[in-house]
Amino acid sequence: MRSALTCFSLAMLALLSAACGPGGSKTSLAAGAASADAGKPSTDLVFDGISTADAINPNEITLSWQPAILASTGSGAGLMRYHVYRGLTEELAKQESSFVATTDPGVDSFIDSGLPDSTTIYYRVVAMDTEERTSITTEVASAHTPSSYGAGTIDYSSDILPLWNTPMPGDANTTCLSCHTNPGAGMLDLSTLEGVLAGVGSLGAPDSFVIPYQGESSWSEFLSRMSVWPNFFEHSPYFAEPTGLAAMEESLMAWISEGALAEADSTPPVFEFGDSETAGRYFGEFTAFDTVQITFPHAVDPESLPFNGSRAGQLEYAIYAGVDSNNINWDKPVAIGLVELANENDPTISTSFEWLESDSLIVVVRPMDASGRSVPFDFENYNPETASASEITNFRNRMRNQSANEREIFIQR
Ligand code: HEC
């Protein structure tokens, strides 16, 4: 069962600990339940505390736990209620002032909403019995919300569509749109953004030309697609007199380098952990003293458009690591994994990175779609500690739209 409780008043990071005090809770205490022991910690409550915290999108985290029972009777799970605490550090989550909400009886999960994106948030859950005695629970779990999608700023209908009215040299009545509006006949449809993104061809063999892939999509790719066999002659007047194309270049280049996905992609890619084919294939090991290799299944992203018939090639994997769960460096991935199109049919992807900091580590893999891929960015030299504000913004745009259902893996040298 899922608790519908959320704390809506929370919008800003700074308000995290204060905005959702006890008054912010949407449930009232069960009538007549209070006793002399109310609010007192009791060793009679057997409760393991929070078991999972997962970000489900940039602004929501879902929590779950195993039901508590009373040691004296071995029962009581159905009547147990739970206090949820939240903080920006593990220590804060352990304080009473970090209280967020109380669930209804018997509820063993909670969705926390209105959270800031790109932030690690710590949670603690305490069980409360019908006498309002509470468990003594110090377990804390954390989750990191992904960055919000930074939608492109170039609008297709007002900035790009008019470009397709460029007349064919020598034939003022023929424009790109004279030919490119008939997708059913195997023609690229330039009249809608969807048509452009889908390219020509069937779903099984699509031919999309503006989706950036491994950073190679560019103005020159656009031109080469336009000049490609078997229909070069259709375009030859444009190439014979290239001033018309040159006039389109600046706006189209800007659009392409925005990722051309100017519409918000609300669902980041996800790993299908429940899939029996891929279950257990998410692992890592030291392959040399200083090298860690991790192997994981492809993620799926229904909203990523097929590239050469493959959705796998649309995704990228950001690998984060830390000496333990609380020290994962979310400001800089240790590696970015890409699927080589040649290997797209392999059921798993492997990536290696250097690790000298400790004998064991925690690794997290987050799939990302292509929406941020063409933001110019230099990973090698990026240092979050000395980066300027615009470099940090660039980094977040580059890393936007990441999955939020990753699992941590523990690796020992
Ligand atoms: C006289 C008809 C005609 C005109 C005008 C025309 N094209 Fe084409 N174009 C075609 C045909 C036919 C093809 C091959 C089939 C397809 O890809 O749609 C093609 C293919 C393309 C492709 C490659 C599509 C892909 O997925 O690889 C691009 C890009 C393109 N045209 C852009 C343009 C642009 C931009 C203009 C205007 C500046 C233009 N075309 C004007 C007929 C035309």
Pocket test for ligand 1, best of 176, 196, 227 (most atoms within 8 A of CB): 176
Distance between CA atoms of 183 and 232, rounded to whole angstroms?
A: 18
Distance between CA atoms of 355 and 131, rounded to whole angstroms?
A: 51
- Asked if residues 402 and 147 have their Cβ atoms less than 8 Å apart, the reply is yes
13-144 and 283-412, same CATH topology: yes
Q: Cα(242) to centroid of ligand 1, in Å?
A: 15
Least confidently predicted of 28-42, 44-58, 343-357, 393-407 = 28-42
User: Is the distance from the beta carbon of residue 235 to the nearest atom of ligand 1 less than 6 Å?
Assistant: yes
- pLDDT of 304 strictly over 70: no
Residue 184 one-letter amino acid: G
Give the burial string for 257-283 (b: 16+ CB within 10 Å, else e).
bbbbbbeebeebbbbeeeeeebeeebe
- pLDDT of 363 strictly over 90: yes
User: Is the distance from the beta carbon of residue 238 to the nearest atom of ligand 1 less than 6 Å?
Assistant: yes
Domain extents in the chain: 13-144, 156-257, 283-412
Distance between CA atoms of 155 and 262, rounded to whole angstroms?
A: 7
pLDDT winner (highest mean) among 265-269, 314-318, 372-376: 314-318
Residue 359 one-letter amino acid: D
| Rg, the chain, Cα only | 26
Q: What pLDDT is recorded for position 89?
A: 92
Torsion over CA: 273, 277, 280, 286 (sign): negative
Smallest CA separation from ligand 1 atom 3, residue: 179
Output the average pLDDT for the chain: 77
Q: Cα(191) to centroid of ligand 1, in Å?
A: 12
Least confidently predicted of 46-50, 77-81, 294-298 = 294-298
Smallest CA separation from ligand 1 atom 16, residue: 187
User: Is the distance from the beta carbon of residue 404 to the nearest atom of ligand 1 less than 6 Å?
Assistant: no
* Span 118-141, average pLDDT: 93
The end-to-end CA distance of the chain, in Å, is 40
Strands (DSSP E) along 186-241, which ranges? 200-201, 206-207
Q: Cα(11) to centroid of ligand 1, in Å?
A: 47
Among 8, 4, 3, 127, smallest CA distance to 68 is for 127
Q: Ligand 1: which atom is nearest the Cα of residue 187? A: 18
Q: Cα(176) to centroid of ligand 1, in Å?
A: 7
- pLDDT of 229 strictly over 60: no
Q: Which residue has the tokens 């040298």?
A: 413
**Dihedral of the CA atoms 117, 398, 307, 353 (nearest 10)?**
-100
Q: Ligand 1: which atom is nearest the Cα of residue 174? A: 5
Q: Ligand 1: which atom is nearest the Cα of residue 244? A: 38
The crossing angle, in degrees rounded to 10, of helices 232-240 and 243-257 is 110
- Asked if residues 240 and 169 have their Cβ atoms less than 8 Å apart, the reply is yes
Pocket test for ligand 1, best of 165, 173, 180 (most atoms within 8 A of CB): 180
Q: Token pair of 235, please?
A: 């375009």
Q: What pLDDT is recorded for position 36?
A: 66
CA 12 to chain centre: 20
Q: Considering the domain 13-144 in this protein, what is its CATH number?
A: 2.60.40.10
Question: What are 317-355's pLDDT values in tens digits?
Answer: 999 999 998 888 888 999 998 877 667 778 788 999 999
Pocket test for ligand 1, best of 189, 194, 234, 255 (most atoms within 8 A of CB): 234
Distance between CA atoms of 62 and 57, rounded to whole angstroms?
A: 10
Distance between CA atoms of 222 and 187, rounded to whole angstroms?
A: 16
pLDDT category of residue 303 using cuts at 50, 70 and 90: low
Q: What pLDDT is recorded for position 292?
A: 97
Q: What pLDDT is recorded for position 201?
A: 44
Distance between CA atoms of 86 and 63, rounded to whole angstroms?
A: 11
Q: Ligand 1: which atom is nearest the Cα of residue 199? A: 26
pLDDT category of residue 184 using cuts at 50, 70 and 90: low
Smallest CA separation from ligand 1 atom 15, residue: 187
Q: Higher model confidence: residue 254 or residue 46? A: 46
User: Is the distance from the beta carbon of residue 178 to the nearest atom of ligand 1 less than 6 Å?
Assistant: yes
Least confidently predicted of 72-76, 382-386, 389-393 = 389-393
Among 44, 196, 35, smallest CA distance to 131 is for 35
- pLDDT of 185 strictly over 60: yes
Distance between CA atoms of 237 and 227, rounded to whole angstroms?
A: 11
Phi-psi category of residue 202: left, alpha or beta, with phi > 0 → left and psi -120 to 50 → alpha: beta
CA-CA distances (angstroms) from residue 129 to 6, 24, 35, 48, 254?
Answer: 21, 21, 11, 15, 60
Percentage of the chain modeled with pLDDT above 70: 70
Q: Ligand 1: which atom is nearest the Cα of residue 178? A: 5
283-412 belongs to which CATH class? mainly beta
Least confidently predicted of 188-197, 291-300, 378-387 = 188-197
Q: Higher model confidence: residue 14 or residue 411? A: 411
Q: What pLDDT is recorded for position 271?
A: 76
Question: What are 4-38's pLDDT values in tens digits?
Answer: 333 332 333 333 433 333 333 333 333 344 456 77
Q: Ligand 1: which atom is nearest the Cα of residue 207? A: 26
User: Is the distance from the beta carbon of residue 227 to the nearest atom of ligand 1 less than 6 Å?
Assistant: no
Distance between CA atoms of 111 and 64, rounded to whole angstroms?
A: 9
- pLDDT of 69 strictly over 80: yes
Distance between CA atoms of 350 and 344, rounded to whole angstroms?
A: 12
Q: What pLDDT is recorded for position 309?
A: 53
Q: Higher model confidence: residue 17 or residue 235? A: 235
pLDDT category of residue 378 using cuts at 50, 70 and 90: confident
User: Is the distance from the beta carbon of residue 231 to the nearest atom of ligand 1 less than 6 Å?
Assistant: yes
User: Is the distance from the beta carbon of residue 209 to the nearest atom of ligand 1 less than 6 Å?
Assistant: yes
Q: Cα(152) to centroid of ligand 1, in Å?
A: 25
- pLDDT of 100 strictly over 90: yes
